[in-house]
Structures are given as C-alpha cells and as structure tokens.
C-alpha cells in the first residue's frame, strides 16, 4: 500500500533475523497474489477476489495488513483501469480488456510484507501492454539503485527517467513507496520522481517497499467519492507494481517475488501475459 508524504521520523534498520521474518511475510503476500492470479477472469468481481485473499492470508497464520489500517475496510486494494491505487473491491464483474492492480499486505510474526501486481484481463490494447511492461521494468530499474551508499533520490530518478522521460508517461507525485517492518509505513519515503544524490542515504539492512505508480496519460490524480480510491484525472489507465526489498552492498535483496505470480499469469488463459 502506497504511503502519503508525511513528516519524517527515524529510520529503523533491521537485524538479519528481522529481515527473514519480513521475507516470510513478503513471500506470503507473493503466494496470495499467485492464488489471486489463478482466479482472475471476466465475470469475477474484485470483492470476491478480496474475500479469497483475506481467507488465504488468515489460513496461513497471518492477518491482512491493510484491513483496518486508517479505517481501510478491505484486505486488498483492487484498482481497476483508471484507478491508480487504494481501490475498494466492488461487486462489479471484471470484463475483457480490464486491468487490475492488486496490492496486498500481510502481517505475521510481528512484521509486515507488502507487494502489488497489475493483471490484464483478456485482450488489452498494445498501448496498455506497453504501459504494464514499462512500469514493471521501471520497478527493477529502481531496485538496481537500492544499494548501500546510494540515496533514495537515485531510486526515484531511475524510475522517473525511464517512465516519464523515455516513454512519456505520468509519474504520480502525491503517493510514495516507504520503509516497512513492524509498521506498515515507516521512513524513508520512496518517491518515484526526483533528483539523483538527494533524499535519505541508503544503508545496509534498510527495508523499503518500492512501488512505481505510473499513468498512461497525465500525472494528475483525484480522489473518488469513497475517499480512498485514487484515479487518473484524464480517465486513462494506470499501472502499479511493488516489491519489498532489503538494501545491501552491491545488489538489493528482493524479499517478495514475482516468479510464481508470473507463472500463474502465463497459465491462466483469461490473463494476458505477452507484454
């Protein structure tokens, strides 16, 4: 779940034991997204998917991180088409051509995991396929910069340069990635735009969620009437991918995983995976 820009407070560095507990929670989120990927099809509602995800998390000895967080009423953020993030699950059935960002958190053994993935239902346009491809690639470009000695601005710049400057997409300014651990949202904030060499210094054993939120058109957004769902101002689709990672020397340690999610995506005939 993306964080809003807040006043800074202390960064909490994690022990190796704590990092492994965060990995367990993060991999449970990945497994939850994998199971959701198996179910997505035209005709199913995001409300049904949310109910399933919540039960899966609880059946695995965890609790949904998002449910009740600042009064958010669901286990997952389900953001369809022009919804960027924080979408409420609804009983409206998904249809061919929809894209849906599924953002999930799980809390287990005192620590949170957080990850998100955007799925394409059936046949989508080439321009939307390109949006998904570039947004996912930008996540890994950001992760490449998440190493000891760099700064958060290096992550932000890498994502913005690839999505906005190279591809002309809109990078949401009002929402950011974040640190996480015992709390769902910790410092540092991790924006998807910015200047190299700026913001908090990255150090070993810092755990952060990196999550590009990229719009096909304008970067401008607005709140829907539910007070949570954030939509693109021009009504064009948005994509969202998120990994929980641990900063290390040389190369970041990705604590969540897309491997099983992508395998389920390829195996589901109702999902588009050729992007």
Split into its structural domains, the chain has a count of 1
Mean pLDDT of 75-102: 98
- Which helix (H) or strand (E) segment holds residue 176: the answer is strand 175-179
Beta partners for residue 232, in sequence order:
221
pLDDT exceeds 90 at position 4? no
pLDDT tens across 121-146, in order? 999 999 999 999 999 999 999 999 99
Q: Report DSSP state, residue 165.
A: I
Cα separation, 160 vs 232, whole angstroms: 17
pLDDT confidence of residue 2? 73
Cα separation, 150 vs 28, whole angstroms: 29
Label residue 275 by pLDDT band (50, 70, 90): confident
CATH classification at residue 143: 3.90.230.10
Range of the domain at 193: 3-272
Query: Could you give the count of Cα atoms lying within 13 Å of 5 in the half-sphere of its Cβ?
Result: 7
Q: Is the pTM value of this prediction over 0.75? A: yes
What's the full length of the chain, in residues?
Answer: 275
Cα separation, 159 vs 180, whole angstroms: 20
Angle between helices 46-59 and 16-39 (to 10 degrees): 140
pLDDT exceeds 80 at position 8? no
Label residue 39 by pLDDT band (50, 70, 90): very high
pLDDT confidence of residue 115? 98
Q: CA dist 262 to 34, 38, 50, 115, 275, Å?
A: 8, 10, 19, 14, 11
pLDDT tens across 173-228, in order? 999 999 999 999 999 999 999 999 999 999 999 999 999 999 999 999 999 999 99
Closest listed residue to residue 184, CA positions, set 244, 228, 255, 229: 244
Q: CA dist 142 to 13, 83, 120, 125, 238, Å?
A: 20, 23, 23, 26, 18
pLDDT tens across 227-271, in order? 999 999 999 999 999 999 999 999 999 999 999 999 999 999 999
Question: How, if at all, do strands 111-121 and 221-223 pair?
Answer: unpaired
């Amino acid at each position: 779940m993306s964080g809003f820009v807040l006043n800074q407070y202390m960064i909490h560095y994690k022990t190796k034991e704590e990092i492994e507990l965060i990995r367990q929670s993060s991999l449970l989120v990945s497994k939850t997204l994998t199971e959701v990927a198996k179910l997505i099809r035209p005709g199913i509602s995001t409300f049904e998917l949310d109910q399933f995800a919540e039960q899966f998390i609880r059946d695995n000895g965890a609790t949904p991180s998002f449910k009740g967080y600042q009064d958010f009423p669901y286990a997952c953020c389900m953001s369809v088409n022009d919804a960027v993030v924080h979408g409420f699950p609804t009983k409206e059935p998904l249809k061919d051509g929809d894209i849906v960002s599924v953002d999930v958190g799980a809390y287990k053994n005192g620590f949170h995991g957080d990850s998100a993935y955007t799925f394409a239902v059936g046949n989508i346009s080439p321009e939307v396929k390109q949006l998904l491809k570039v947004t996912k690639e930008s996540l890994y470009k950001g992760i490449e910069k998440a190493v000891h000695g760099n700064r958060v601005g290096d992550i932000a710049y890498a994502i913005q340069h690839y999505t906005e400057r190279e591809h002309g997409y809109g990078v949401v300014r009002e929402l950011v990635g974040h640190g996480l651990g015992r709390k769902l949202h910790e410092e540092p904030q991790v924006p998807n735009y910015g200047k190299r060499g700026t913001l908090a210094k990255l150090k070993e054993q810092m755990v952060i969620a990196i999550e590009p939120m990229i719009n096909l058109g304008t970067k401008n957004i607005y709140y829907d009437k539910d007070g949570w769902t954030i939509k693109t101002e021009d009504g064009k689709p948005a994509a969202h991918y998120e990994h929980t990672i641990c900063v290390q020397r040389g190369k970041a340690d990705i604590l969540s995983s897309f491997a099983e999610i992508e395998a389920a995506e390829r195996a589901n005939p109702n999902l588009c995976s050729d992007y």
